């Protein structure tokens, strides 16, 4: 995390045309409007082969959910075909997806997980 505020970019200086107050300098300052980053939701998709207990453990481990919340998310995935595990910035969501897919692959399960922009 940065300990200093970001520095302002240099402001352009506009000089008057020749013959008009040669010592005067007009400085124009433009304010920058920053938008918060677009958030992405991490969504797990249902399949007929991945054990429910494995899905609960993955949700607990990678999304820091308690057992009850992880079970509720797993049931939503099972019953509705998909469930949101968390909402993050794009890079963190991509990392979470990679972690889930890697864990599922190592365990030999076809669990699928995707990141989608939040509207």
Per-residue pLDDT of the chain (119 residues; tens, 9 = 90+): 556 666 666 665 555 555 555 677 778 888 888 888 899 999 999 999 999 999 999 999 999 999 999 999 999 999 999 999 999 999 999 999 999 999 999 999 999 999 999 98
Does the pTM of the predicted model rise above 0.75?
Answer: no
Helix/strand/coil percent split, the chain, to 5: 35, 20, 40
Domains and CATH numbers, the chain: 39-117 (3.30.1390.10)
* Segment (H or E) for 54: helix 52-63
Dihedral sign (CA 119, 101, 46, 71)? negative
Q: Closest Cα to residue 92, out of 56, 57, 63, 61?
A: 63
């Amino acid at each position: 995390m940065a300990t200093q505020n970001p520095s302002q970019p240099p402001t352009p200086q506009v000089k008057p045309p020749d013959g008009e107050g040669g010592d005067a300098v007009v400085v124009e300052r433009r304010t920058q409007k920053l938008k918060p980053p677009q958030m992405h939701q991490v969504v797990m998709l249902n399949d007929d082969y991945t054990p429910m207990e494995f899905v609960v453990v993955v949700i607990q481990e990678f999304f820091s959910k308690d057992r009850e919340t992880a079970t509720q998310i797993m049931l939503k995935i099972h019953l509705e075909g998909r469930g949101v595990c968390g909402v993050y910035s794009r890079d963190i969501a991509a990392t979470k997806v990679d972690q889930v897919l890697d864990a599922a692959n190592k365990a030999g399960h076809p669990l699928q997980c995707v990141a989608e922009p939040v509207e």
